[in-house]
Amino acid sequence: MAVEGTSVALPQFLKKIELIKQGAEARVYRGSFLGKPTIVKERFPKLYRHPLLDEKLTHRRTVQEVRSILRCRKAGISAPVVYFVDYTSHCIFLEDIVGSITVRDHIASTQLSSAQKSPEEHLDQLAQKMGQILAKMHDEDVVHGDLTTSNMLLKAGAESGETELVLIDFGLSYISALPEDKGVDMYVLEKAFLSTHPNTEALFEKLLKAYAASSKKSHAVIKKLDEVRLRGRKRSMVG
């Protein structure tokens, strides 16, 4: 019989499915759940932390992740569907976005292929879309916390055939209305973007322009972004 409060079924299930990624925060698996292709994100215990603190932090991050996803989805921002959450083993079961590629891979391959007629123009459209969606997300007061081009997926839309941008990995996300937090969110993206994709300053500029144009609240965020650029992600505690 199962010990009260803990799941024996979950660890056994995870052993049977494919481990696709191991990070500092969680392990990510791919498998079938209730007949659907599913991604399982498991936040494992950190043994270097005090068990009580570890449990609290892990629980909070699991909760924050599903809350942010739901908030985004309600606003019409594509994010994976949450199928099931286990708060005892801190596992989140999410929709597997089948047939998608990361924005990172897409930009890299577009930059490589000189064959395409106008790669610039094509990527400009994508940058614009990214700016618009991030503005929408920040309008909902969701701060992603880990914006990179690897955490955005492209998939072919259901009916329209138009490509859809899906945001993933809300593991470090939280709810905040502060322009400071949103500014840092954009700063993290800028750093990641420019270091992963060489010579894309102009492209990122387009993203920011679209971001600024699609939200009324973006002015304060861009102003903060300029401040953050000068001082870095962390606030100066001197003086």
Residues that bind other proteins (CB under 8 A): 2, 4-10, 13, 31-36, 63, 66-67, 69-70, 73-76, 81-88, 93, 95, 158
CB of 167 to other proteins, least distance (A): 14
Q: How far is the CB of 37 from other proteins (least distance, A)?
A: 12
Nearer to other proteins, 67 or 191 (CB): 67
Identify which of residues 16 and 234 has a Cβ nearer to other proteins in the complex.
16
The catalytically annotated residue of 54, 96, 139, 146 is 146
Contacts of 198 (CB under 8 A, 6+ apart): none
Distance of CA 43 to the CA centre of its chain: 16
Q: Encoding tokens for residue 69?
A: 């996803």
Instruction: Dig out the tokens for 6 from the structure.
Output: 């803990």
Nearest CB to other proteins, comparing residues 118 and 160: 160
Cα–Cα distances in Å, from 22 out to 17, 19, 28, 74, 169?
14, 8, 6, 30, 13
Closer by beta carbon to other proteins, 112 or else 175: 175
* Alpha-carbon separation of residue 63 from 78, 95, 170 (angstroms): 19, 17, 10
Distance CA 73, CA 61 (A): 18
* Strand bridging mode 82-86 / 91-95: antiparallel
What DSSP state is assigned to residue 104? H
Instruction: Mark whether 141 is an active-site residue.
Output: no
First to last CA, the chain: 59
Give the nearer residue to other proteins in terms of CB position, either 37 or 51.
37
Q: What is the smallest separation between the CB atom of 106 and other proteins, expressed in angstroms? A: 23
To other proteins, the closest distance from the beta carbon of 27 in angstroms equals 17
Which residues are within 8 A (CB) of 41 and not within 5 positions of it... i.e. 6 or more apart?
Answer: 26, 27, 28, 29, 65, 91, 92, 94, 171
Q: What's the min distance (Å) between Cβ of 109 and other proteins?
A: 28
Q: Among all residues, which ones are annotated catalytic? A: 146
